[in-house]
Amino acid sequence: MIDLPSAPSRPGKATLAALPTRGRRLRRTPALRALVRETRLDPSMLVMPMFIRSGDGVREPIGSLPGIERLSADQAIVDARRLADLGVGGVLLFGLPDAKDSIGSGAWADDGVVQDALRRLRAADLPLVLIADTCLCEYTDHGHCGPLAPDGSVANDAALERLAVTAVSQARAGADIVAPSAMMDGQIAAIRAALDAADLGSTSIMAYAAKTASAFYSPFRDAAGSAPAFGDRRGYQMDPANGREALRELRQDVAEGADLLLVKPGLPCLDHIVAARAAFDLPVAAYQVSGEFAMIAAAAERGWIDGRRVLTESVLSIQRAGADIVITYGAADLAAWIAEERVPLAGAGAIR
Tell which phi-psi region holds residue 283, choosing left (phi > 0), alpha (psi between -120 and 50) or beta: beta
For residue 173, give the H/E element and its range.
helix 156-173
CB 108 within 8 A of CB 101: no
Measured in residues, the chain has a length of: 352
13 catalytic, yes or no? no
How many Å apart are CA 270 and CA 58, to the nearest integer?
A: 36
Q: Which of 70, 144, 264, 272 is catalytic?
A: 264
264 catalytic, yes or no? yes
How many Å apart are CA 313 and CA 122, to the nearest integer?
A: 33
Beta bridge partners of residue 72, listed in sequence order: 53
What angle separates helix 187-197 from helix 156-173, to the nearest 10 degrees? Answer: 40
Helical residues (DSSP H) of 174-243, grouped into ranges: 187-197, 218-224
Residues sharing a CB contact under 8 Å with residue 340, sequence separation 6 or more, in sequence order: none
How many Å apart are CA 145 and CA 107, to the nearest integer?
A: 11
The conformation of residue 233, written as its DSSP 8-state character, comes to S
Q: Which of 211, 233, 272, 277 is catalytic?
A: 211
Contacts 24+ apart (CB under 8 A), 305-314: 308/333, 308/337, 312/41, 312/337, 314/266, 314/267, 314/288
The residues carrying an active-site annotation are: 211, 264
